[in-house]
Structure 1
């Protein structure tokens, strides 16, 4: 079943979280670029399904909150065995650092060897055809455009069948492993959970401060950590984060943004630079994005105008920082040295009052460097008004503290 709405995807994740064994695959958008993004997560819980009708195809393109929810409830759950074919690739988009109890059929097949298997290679589609006897196995859609919406029926058919092939291949591969080698099999092929306290995120800390009761219910019974109005959850948070990230990507890669900082620092006016950057970003990214929204959901246009005001404000803040940093950097290096876009994950161990150690992980939204103050700054975007702003401040302050421990240098924190 193909699911696109956040609420139905959340419900599906909660249903799948009760499984003991799942077969998973992903499809990625923009996979030929430097910034590939996860487009679909396919999950099968019924190994006897030969058609894919019971498979879940979760459309998570530009839905980072739901991807994180899937990671927390499924990928990081040591009670669920997750089977991938090429686990090392799929887990790039599902936070490999949190993954527990992962089985990789490609590793199993390599250990057995294609000679013993009697197959021409170890690709999933080849194993499905030559080992499992599937006919008309189509691999063409794999290289198609997984960003385009709506997806074609051919793409969706391909996506759901991948999990069917995977379940069958997994079953057939296990037949080649002698029962006596079960322990070795687990050691080699499966990433088992290490004895430790349950994973805890920085977001959990914020939720605990905002609403201890909701935090308890989430940890005890599972579920979403914050109750968002449906329109806000689907139409505010995800697009704003996506557009904010897109601005940073374009600023780093598009020479037109760098050219705005070419004049001497003394000649630059932050407000003028901000206006030019806003115009550029609107033309390159926001306007095409808005057009796609108008075609599919015209009633959301007022909401996206509101999002644009937020993005404009964010660009204004970043433009001010870039102009300040221009005094300390060459024009061609200012943006590159201001936005540090590959160090957003943090992890630390904290000792609890009872003496046990608690591991805390997190990923914040942006990392910038302020040359005037010679400090990094961890930035967290917020698109809703919290009842208690101190919880949001505490969240980003914890990010900053953990990053400071990792990098051994001062780190500021900011919420926007």
Structure 2
């Protein structure tokens, strides 16, 4: 055991935990005031739902002893055999129980990201069922493929340092799928739906930026030079993406505060899979390009009149896709000998492995989400009634108002 490593991963676990309610603040400021509490509640409650699921079966399915490279067994269900001793397959210098807790926070924030696709129109009960089913049937298998000992994409050589594929591509592709099943909001495309509290969104964005140091830096699972590199490139990529978004948006209109904050988040998304494998100069390129891709994906979504409420697909799905592919371009053994060289350093094979992992995870997450959401829509119903939507989900689903009083 290394106590410095234990302290760093404990701190990182707490930082990643903070990110889930921060997502709620980020999303909450962008919805209409009648849906603010609903949005924050759905994001934050995901931490409660998935923490229980993770202990009971999720961790065992995602990281447990391998079955055919596709899924873990139930040998670690209920955290059986997950204790204070280390597991050298995952982290040799910290307790196995701590590794489980760190991964729990990743499992929690991923479905919380999808909340942005369906806020302002989903039944609260349907959100709970979707979150639980999606985590079991989408997140856990993909996490096993990419990160677990014996996972088939891991064996293929795919690199995903902190979750660009496992977290952001699964969330973004699933957000797109769910938005195709769920009906559009009332008057979507006919009336302007203005954000209710931009400072709240900015607060959420900067809390996410802060938490991301644990998200990426903590994924070294040790207080070492790889964690330091991840820490630095995380900040650089976010900065480059925020500035890039500001410049692009200035070409069309005034540079908005929400746009700059969104750019920073997109840069953080894109650097996530690469953060343990690339240097600071590469991080600048990754962040700057990520903003260009996501900015124009949002414009495409608007042109197609797709009601994917808060652009989870454009920001997380496409940002994560670029980040995974960029890992195949910019990764360098000079940064991390345990990784691989990418296309820029003469190794085209890594890029094609990354491309395969992106395509497979996109297809699996999209198809499984279509199935889950259609089943829920035809059984319990996904959307609230138009009357409930008109009143607002704060009142209709929770009986509360964010801005009550006289």
TM-score (norm 2): 0.29
Relative contact order, higher structure (CA 8 A, sep 6+)? 2
Larger Rg: 1
More helix by share: 2
More strand by share: 1
TM-score (norm 1): 0.28
